[in-house]
Amino acid sequence: MGKRILILGAGFGGLAAANALRKSLGQDHRIIVIDRKKSFMMGLVKLWILEGSRKLEESQTPLDGLNAKGIEYLNDEVAKIDTASSRVQARDHGWIEYDYLIVALGAELAPEKIAGFAGRGYNLYDAQQVPELRERLLSLKSGRVAICIMGMPYKCPPAPYEAAMIISGMLAKHGTRNSIDLDLYAPAPIALPVAGPEISSNVVNVISKQGIRFHASHKIKSVSDRQLEFENGAKLDYDLLVGIPPHRVPEVVRSSGLTDGDWVTVDRLTMKTSHKNVFAIGDVTEIKVGALAVPKAGIFAEEEAKVAARQIIDEITSKPAMAAFNGQGYCFMEVGGKQAGYIEADFYNPSGPSLRLEPPSEQNYEKKQDFERTRVKEWLL
Ligand SMILES: Cc1cc2nc3c(=O)[nH]c(=O)nc-3n(C[C@H](O)[C@H](O)[C@H](O)COP(=O)(O)OP(=O)(O)OC[C@H]3O[C@@H](n4cnc5c(N)ncnc54)[C@H](O)[C@@H]3O)c2cc1C
């Protein structure tokens, strides 16, 4: 009897899972993916739009490319997840039953949690706002640009630092950098808590060399016209605000009873939730590793997707379940000028998470371009 595997979310994790399943399961098994979006764009492309090397319009790949691969794509809103009855309600398609469910709905942005931010600042993580942000940055002749991380955890921990360096490079090229101050505010006491103090101070050194001032332990309280107020009492001026808003689990996931605390808890090796035949992967999950958690990044969503898919394939094909998430990942950290460093991480290292940073190079920047190109091609084209 063919099984029905339902995947919620066609982002990084959902697309990786759907493709892995389709490659190993016969056509008698249905793979259905639901997403409210009609197209996919990798998060990191927002930085290229900011930099000006990409346009938003040319960076979106239609999700209906999944159908040609034998994966059924439904453009719909997931309204309810009912794990007790093994079914999901989609706004237009109604109730859909499943044999296996993979929840890959990502993290939701909550800019409204910061009083005064809406209408005053740009949301760096909203692709629609980035082209206008770029124009505003280029039209600024002098003043102060504030980049503010507004909550923890957030997707891709190095991204705000990459954005700061890209902005610095853009302004230098435009001839305005010397008359514009760049300040980066973070709520944590070090730049990248997930990467530890050594890599954090390395990152702060790199941005300082570009004249970007880093302000640790600055948790934003509110935004008013041209002023930021922080929980430590500091009040600081800005002319242009670039925010990374707080993140939260999507409401449909929270109300389904899948969360334990703020995010979905899964078995750290199998990606199984405590609900029968329900897996969760990517940003919607929290996998604690001591005092840290596996970062919210596409590379981890992808690896977790492959593990969840393999578990399902092995169960359907009656093979022993061997796949296990190894807690390893990497990312390319852009420093501007078409150069990128490379961070490699092993969060399940028995003697504690270990990370390694490689200095910036043009080759790493090219590898990052390739990282996006190859995945979009494999998943959707
Ligand atoms: C600026 C930036 C740079 C980044 N750089 C990197 C990088 O270099 N390397 C890296 O590995 N990661 C990077 N990331 C992080 C990466 O994009 C995310 O961690 C990754 O997308 C998480 O994958 P996911 O599948 O969990 O969620 P997502 O990719 O966010 O997918 C979730 C999907 O669920 C859909 N959805 C949500 N709710 C509903 C609903 N109710 N109904 C229907 N559909 C719904 C959404 O439309 C979305 O398509 C970056 C992110 C940003 C913002």
Report the distance separating Cα 44 and Cα 272, nearest Å: 28
- Domain final position from 327, 348, 365: 327
- Do 141 and 228 reside in the same domain of the chain? yes
Domain that holds residue 315: 4-107+249-327
Q: Whose CA is nearest to atom 48 of ligand 1?
A: 11
Q: What is the pLDDT of residue 1?
A: 85
Q: What is the pLDDT of residue 225?
A: 95
Q: Is the CB of 313 under 6 A from ligand 1?
A: no
Q: What is the pLDDT of residue 334?
A: 95
Q: Is the CB of 33 under 6 A from ligand 1?
A: no
Query: Is residue 352 one of the residues assigned to a domain?
Result: no
Query: Is residue 145 one of the residues assigned to a domain?
Result: yes
Mean pLDDT on 10-18: 98
Q: Is the CB of 12 under 6 A from ligand 1?
A: yes
Query: Is residue 379 one of the residues assigned to a domain?
Result: no
- Do 39 and 74 reside in the same domain of the chain? yes
- Do 161 and 236 reside in the same domain of the chain? yes
Ligand 1 centroid to residue 303 C-alpha, Å:
14
Q: Which residues, at least 6 apart from 183, have a Cβ–Cβ distance to it below 8 Å?
A: 144, 145, 146, 147, 212, 213, 215, 236, 238
Q: What is the pLDDT of residue 337?
A: 87
Looking at the chain, the whole-number percentage of residues with pLDDT higher than 90 is 97
Average pLDDT in the chain:
97
* pLDDT at residue 94 greater than cutoff 90: yes
- Do 276 and 292 reside in the same domain of the chain? yes
Report the distance separating Cα 344 and Cα 230, nearest Å: 33
End-to-end CA distance of the chain: 30
- Do 120 and 234 reside in the same domain of the chain? yes
- Do 132 and 254 reside in the same domain of the chain? no
Q: What is the pLDDT of residue 81?
A: 98
* pLDDT at residue 226 greater than cutoff 90: yes
Going by the DSSP 8-state scheme, the letter that residue 245 receives in this structure is -
- Do 130 and 226 reside in the same domain of the chain? yes
Q: What are phi and psi of 56, to 5 degrees?
A: -55, -45
Q: Whose CA is nearest to atom 25 of ligand 1?
A: 13
- Domain final position from 327, 345, 371: 327
Query: Is residue 185 one of the residues assigned to a domain?
Result: yes
- Do 233 and 132 reside in the same domain of the chain? yes
Q: What tens digit of pLDDT does each residue of 49-83 get?
A: 999 999 999 999 999 999 999 999 999 999 999 99
Q: Is the CB of 156 under 6 A from ligand 1?
A: yes
Q: Comparing C-alpha atoms, which of 222, 26, 254, 18 is closest to residue 112?
A: 222
Query: Is residue 277 one of the residues assigned to a domain?
Result: yes
Q: What tens digit of pLDDT does each residue of 292-320 get?
A: 999 999 999 999 999 999 999 999 999 99
- Do 222 and 115 reside in the same domain of the chain? yes
Ligand 1 centroid to residue 323 C-alpha, Å:
23
61-62 and 4-8 strand pairing: unpaired
Q: Whose CA is nearest to atom 50 of ligand 1?
A: 43
Tell me, what CATH number does 120's domain have? 3.50.50.60
Q: What tens digit of pLDDT does each residue of 240-292 get?
A: 999 999 999 999 999 999 998 999 999 999 999 999 999 999 999 999 999 99
Taking the CA of residue 296 as reference, the ligand 1 atom at the shortest distance is 19
Query: Is residue 332 one of the residues assigned to a domain?
Result: no
Query: Is residue 346 one of the residues assigned to a domain?
Result: no
Ligand 1 centroid to residue 105 C-alpha, Å:
8
Ligand 1 centroid to residue 283 C-alpha, Å:
7
Query: Is residue 265 one of the residues assigned to a domain?
Result: yes
- Domain final position from 247, 263, 285: 247
Report the distance separating Cα 229 and Cα 179, nearest Å: 24
Q: Is the CB of 308 under 6 A from ligand 1?
A: no
Report the distance separating Cα 213 and Cα 342, nearest Å: 23
Going by the DSSP 8-state scheme, the letter that residue 233 receives in this structure is S
- Do 72 and 131 reside in the same domain of the chain? no
Q: Which residues, at least 6 apart from 334, have a Cβ–Cβ distance to it below 8 Å?
A: 47, 162, 165, 166, 340, 365, 368
Q: What tens digit of pLDDT does each residue of 161-209 get?
A: 999 999 999 999 999 999 999 999 999 999 999 999 999 999 999 999 9
Q: Is the CB of 333 under 6 A from ligand 1?
A: no
- Do 67 and 8 reside in the same domain of the chain? yes
Domain count, the chain: 2
- Do 151 and 256 reside in the same domain of the chain? no
Q: What is the pLDDT of residue 286?
A: 97
Q: What is the pLDDT of residue 45?
A: 98
Report the distance separating Cα 200 and Cα 328, nearest Å: 19
